[in-house]
């Protein structure tokens, strides 16, 4: 019999009974969006869980990024990395800003802080680093550079839900941090996102952007859009937040099993885990050195697919080489990002993935190697 498909991730869902109990009151109130009771409850619980002063709930992670860039009134150039999901770069461009691509470091694939200053010009207004795969950026160095040059820092924290570094919640770093609660992320509200921020005025502008700039029934003081999180999504958030620590614990088991199986295999490097980070195990990236391993990234992906296992080429291609940006950026300007993106894959990881399946995935990978010539 054919094996069941294993996808790279599987959304976490509460028991159906738990969710229906949570949304029952919506049929009493008929208040299903526009910052109702679920929205208020979830917002407070989220701020507490993330250990942040303020979090604005929004419709998705992409709008969190766009709205933050717009609420800050930024103009000019933004330093960022091309080794990320399309959203990061699109949000910058769609906000009328020019991305300037900085390379990534080989240690954890986040922005190479030693190169940031050489990219700063009189037009630079902000840095948008990405905590890619949940690896937290070199926040101290980014902070130092930003202060010295008067730049805003907006973290794309879509991969870093619930993480802490030296005990501090990841949402506290920089001027703002944008989270995604998309179905495929560690924590989901079906679709959703949040912006963590410190500055009260920024919060007010974010709220304007989220709700048409409406303040009271007769006062519209801001030119806003609509990016509200509805009550059904907030209810999903309330339910999923109850189980998030357990979910992360189960992901950790999968992560450790992969590491045990793949440890010491020549040519395969699981990403390093920082010891001062309380990790969320969102992804399991594996870097392939095809010469040392004897097979390349693409042939591993193919072999897995033949066995109904679907790993992903995250992140390939790099955003600066997207078709829509052809001729605008030079992808060769970030050679490390280019090289990593050609040789990395992310393996399936989610709370319900069995150890048996993890072992099977690792066996498939091993079978890609040519027979030993002894």
What residues make contact with ligand PLP under the rule CB under 6 A?
60-62, 84-85, 87-88, 130, 156, 158-159, 180, 182, 193
Burial class (CB in 10 A: 0-12, 13-18, 19+), 202: buried
State whether the Cα torsion 293-297-299-301 is positive or negative: positive
Detail the DSSP E strand segments found in 112-186: 124-128, 152-156, 164-165, 168-169, 176-180
Nearer to ligand PLP, 87 or 346 (CB): 87
Angle at 92 between CA 88 and CA 94, to 5 degrees: 110
User: For residues 181 and 237, is the Cβ–Cβ distance under 8 A?
Assistant: yes
Q: Which one, 14 or 129, has the nearer CB to ligand PLP?
A: 129
Closest separation in Å from C-beta 357 to ligand PLP: 24
Q: How far is the CB of 137 from ligand PLP (least distance, A)?
A: 12
Spell 77-90 as b/e; 16+ CB within 10 A means b: bbbbbbbbbebbbb
| Nearest distance, CB of residue 7 and ligand PLP, angstroms | 16
What minimum distance in Å lies between the beta carbon of 79 and ligand PLP?
Answer: 16
What's phi and psi for 181, nearest 5 deg? Answer: -115, 35
Which is closer to ligand PLP, CB of 181 or CB of 329? 181
**Shorter beta-carbon distance to ligand PLP: residue 158 or 345:** 158
Give the pairing type, strands 176-180 and 193-197.
antiparallel
Q: At what angle do helices 297-306 and 355-366 cross, to 10 degrees?
A: 130
Residue whose CB is less far from ligand PLP, 9 or 261: 9
Q: Indicate the residue among 235 and 365 with the shorter CB distance to ligand PLP.
A: 235
- Of 81 and 261, CB closest to ligand PLP: 81
Strand runs (DSSP E) across the chain, as ranges? Answer: 54-58, 77-80, 98-101, 124-128, 152-156, 164-165, 168-169, 176-180, 193-197, 268-270, 277-278, 284-288, 344-347
Q: Would strands 152-156 and 164-165 be described as parallel, antiparallel, or unpaired?
A: unpaired
Asked if the peptide bond before residue 317 counts as cis, ω within 30 degrees of 0, the response is yes
Q: How far is the CB of 227 from ligand PLP (least distance, A)?
A: 11
Dihedral angle computed from the Cα positions of residues 70, 72, 76 and 79, in that order, rounded to the nearest 10 degrees: -100
Cβ at position 130, least distance to ligand PLP in Å: 5
Query: In the bound complex, what is the minimum distance in angstroms from residue 129's beta carbon to ligand PLP?
Result: 11
Do residues 98 and 78 lie in contact, with contact meaning Cβ atoms separated by under 8 Å? yes
Which residue's CB is nearer to ligand PLP, number 68 or number 261?
68
Q: Which residue is nearest to ligand PLP (CB)?
A: 61
Q: Which is nearer to ligand PLP, 261 or 334 (CB)?
A: 334
> What is the nearest approach in angstroms of ligand PLP to the Cβ of residue 58?
9
Q: How far is the CB of 135 from ligand PLP (least distance, A)?
A: 12
**Cα–Cα distance between 324 and 67 in angstroms, integer?**
22
Where are the strands (E) in 39-81, listed by range? 54-58, 77-80
């Amino acid at each position: 019999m054919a094996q069941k498909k294993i996808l790279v991730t599987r959304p976490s869902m509460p028991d159906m009974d738990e969710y229906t109990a949570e949304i029952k009151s919506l049929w009493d109130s008929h208040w299903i969006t526009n910052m109702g009771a679920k929205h208020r409850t979830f917002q407070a619980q989220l701020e507490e869980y993330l250990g942040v002063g303020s979090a604005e709930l929004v419709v998705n992670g992409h709008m969190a990024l766009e709205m933050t860039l717009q609420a800050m009134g930024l103009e000019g150039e933004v330093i960022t990395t091309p080794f990320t999901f399309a959203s990061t770069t699109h949000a910058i461009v769609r906000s009328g800003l020019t991305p300037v691509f900085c390379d990534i470091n080989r240690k954890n694939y986040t922005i190479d802080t030693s190169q940031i200053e050489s990219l700063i010009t009189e037009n630079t207004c902000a840095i948008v680093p990405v905590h890619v795969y949940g690896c937290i950026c070199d926040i101290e160095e980014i902070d130092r550079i930003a202060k010295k040059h008067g730049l805003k820092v907006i973290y794309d924290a879509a991969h870093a839900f619930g993480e802490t570094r030296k005990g501090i919640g990841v949402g506290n770093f920089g001027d703002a941090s944008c989270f995604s609660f998309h179905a495929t992320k560690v924590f989901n509200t079906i679709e959703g996102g949040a912006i963590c921020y410190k500055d009260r005025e920024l919060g007010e502008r974010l709220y304007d952007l989220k709700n048409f700039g409406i303040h009271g029934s007769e006062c519209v003081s801001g030119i806003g859009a609509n990016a509200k999180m509805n009550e059904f999504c907030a209810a999903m958030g309330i339910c999923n937040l109850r189980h998030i620590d357990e979910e992360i614990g189960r992901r950790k088991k999968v992560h450790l099993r992969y590491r045990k199986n793949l440890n010491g295999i020549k040519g395969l490097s699981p990403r390093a885990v920082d010891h001062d980070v309380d990790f969320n195990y969102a992804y399991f990236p594996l870097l392939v050195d095809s010469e040392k391993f004897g097979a390349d990234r693409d042939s591993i992906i193919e072999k897995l697919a033949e066995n109904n296992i679907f790993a992903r080429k995250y992140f390939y291609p790099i955003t600066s080489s997207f078709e829509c940006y052809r001729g605008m950026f030079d992808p060769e300007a970030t050679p490390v990002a280019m090289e990593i993106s050609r040789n990395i894959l992310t393996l399936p990881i989610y709370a319900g993935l069995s150890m048996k399946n993890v072992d099977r995935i690792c066996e498939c990978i091993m079978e890609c190697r040519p027979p030993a010539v002894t």
